[in-house]
Amino acid sequence: MDTGILARILDDVLEYGGDYRIESLDLGRQHEDESTAVVEISADGSERLDRILMRVQIHGANAVDPGVALTRPAPSEGVFPEDFYSTTNLETLVRLDREWLRVRQPEMDCGLVVTEEDGGPVVRTVPVSDVKAGDTVVCGAHGVQVELPPQAPRGEEDSFGFMSSSVSSEKPQALLVRQIAQRMRDVKAAGQKVLWVGGPAVVHTGAAPAMVRLVRAGYVDVLFAGNALATHDIEASLFGTSLGVDLAKGSGVPHGHEHHIRAINTIRAAGSIAAAVESGVLTGGVMHAMVQEGKPFVLVGSVRDDGPLPDVYTDVIEGQRAMRAELPGVGFAIMVATMLHSIATGNILPASIPLVSVDINPATVTKLADRGSAQAMGIITDIGLFLEQLARELTPE
């Protein structure tokens, strides 16, 4: 009740042209008690009712008797049946022949495809670009159940309070860094991976050495980025500059504006980032450390890229596939100084994977949450100071 889920469900029913009647409402009395509502939903026509049922599931609302899932074959490659079930990033179950199956790697804005494996049927999320003609696709909302969205811990504080938003630049940064460091230790102790999503400000702010320490210490298992982070990291290693600015002095250098494209050209001549490391051309920086530690990275480009580096995916659909391939085993995601790659990664992450977004711009965290990643926690701070502090916390000298 205090999270407003019921109100949002009822608003959605009306917005989609339906009507509702609350049959029963059982309110929990203590913080740890659940509240339960049974709501009768009606609409003109089964198609509209199915749309409403799928809509309210994004809030964790499920049919009292969900029935058995209906499946249809995909009519052609890259096309779902018209009434396909559109997924959320919440943990999802599908009932086939009275047996409930947990969906593998939940992801928003996909379809559900049923395949046969040695142990029996398996249900997984598939983006529309990857569906094949004849694939068995779950249609409608019948036989589908989603679990409640992750909830923030409930405290004893009053409803009014200072600095109570999830995004604030005035919260105690040192405490937040210690909490993130502890979460990373816990994830590693559980045998899971820490995923990083980074932007070029990691290099611009002079924080690349701190990032390297984190890579060497084993706290960067996977890195998602664009052409820019890798390019300026390599530029810094080869020329000591980032976008032509001397990182030791903080001032421009003669012909510094050429350094990033010369760095790209050097790596292209070597064949790849890994080849440049192996040949001794690239001897330092974040990308050098990732290669030496054998950690995977996925670089996905954009229309504004120079070069790009030979390792960059220029086909964004292929880039998405490469990113998805690295998600199994991820237990925590941290996104630093990048809006577009943060949102892109948030869109393919299950809601069950906690994530932290660190940026000097509050809009980055807000947009990430507004686009479906409700589990995102935001830290508004300079990325250089943040990474230095996190490195000191996790890699004490």
pLDDT at 47: 86
Using the structure block, give the residue that is written with the tokens 């816990």: 186
* Neighbouring-strand partners of residue 358: 336, 379
CA-based torsion, 101, 153, 346, 181: positive or negative: negative
306-336 per-position pLDDT tens digit: 999 999 999 999 999 999 999 999 999 999 9
**Within 10 Å of residue 108's Cβ, how many Cβ atoms?**
20
User: What's the pTM?
Assistant: 0.87
Rounded distance between C-alpha atoms, residue 57 and residue 63, angstroms: 9
Q: What is the pLDDT of residue 4?
A: 84
Look at residue 138 in the predicted model and tell me its pLDDT.
Answer: 97
Model confidence over 177-210: pLDDT tens digits?
999 999 999 999 999 999 999 999 999 999 999 9
How far apart CA 114 and CA 198 sit, in angstroms, is 34
In 3D space, the residue among 56, 61, 112 whose CA is nearest the CA of residue 87 turns out to be: 112
Confidence of residue 141 (pLDDT cuts 50, 70, 90): confident
Residue ranges in the chain assigned as alpha helix (H): 5-15, 46-56, 173-189, 201-204, 208-216, 227-239, 259-270, 273-278, 286-292, 316-325, 340-348, 362-370, 383-394
Look at residue 118 in the predicted model and tell me its pLDDT.
Answer: 82
Assess whether pLDDT exceeds 60 at residue 383: yes
Residue 168: band (very low, low, confident or very high) from pLDDT cuts 50, 70, 90: low
pLDDT score of 60 more than 70 = yes
At residue 397 the predicted structure's pLDDT band, cuts being 50, 70 and 90, is: low
Closest CA to 352 of 133, 102, 181: 102
The domains of the chain, with CATH numbers, are 1-61 (3.30.70.2690), 64-148 (2.40.420.10), 173-394 (3.40.50.10690)
- Using one digit for the tens of pLDDT, what is the confidence trace for 107-121? 999 999 999 988 789
What whole-number distance in Å separates Cα of residue 201 and Cα of residue 206? 8
Per-residue model confidence as pLDDT tens digits over 247-260? 888 888 988 999 99
Q: What is the pLDDT, as a whole number, of residue 11?
A: 95
Distance separating alpha carbons of residues 316 and 27, to the nearest angstrom: 47
C-alpha to C-alpha distance for 289 and 277, rounded to whole angstroms: 9
Contact of 137 with 131, CB cutoff 8 Å = yes
Q: What is the pLDDT of residue 183?
A: 95
- Say yes or no to pLDDT of 238 above 60: yes
* Predicted pLDDT of residue 159: 46
- Asked if pLDDT for residue 152 goes beyond 60, the answer is no
Helix (H) or strand (E) holding 194, with range, is strand 193-198
In this predicted structure, what is the pLDDT of residue 148?
Answer: 76
What are the pLDDT digits (tens) for 350-381? 999 999 999 988 888 787 777 767 777 888 88
The C-alpha atoms of residue 386 and residue 393 are separated, in whole angstroms, by: 11
pLDDT tens profile 291-305: 999 999 999 999 999
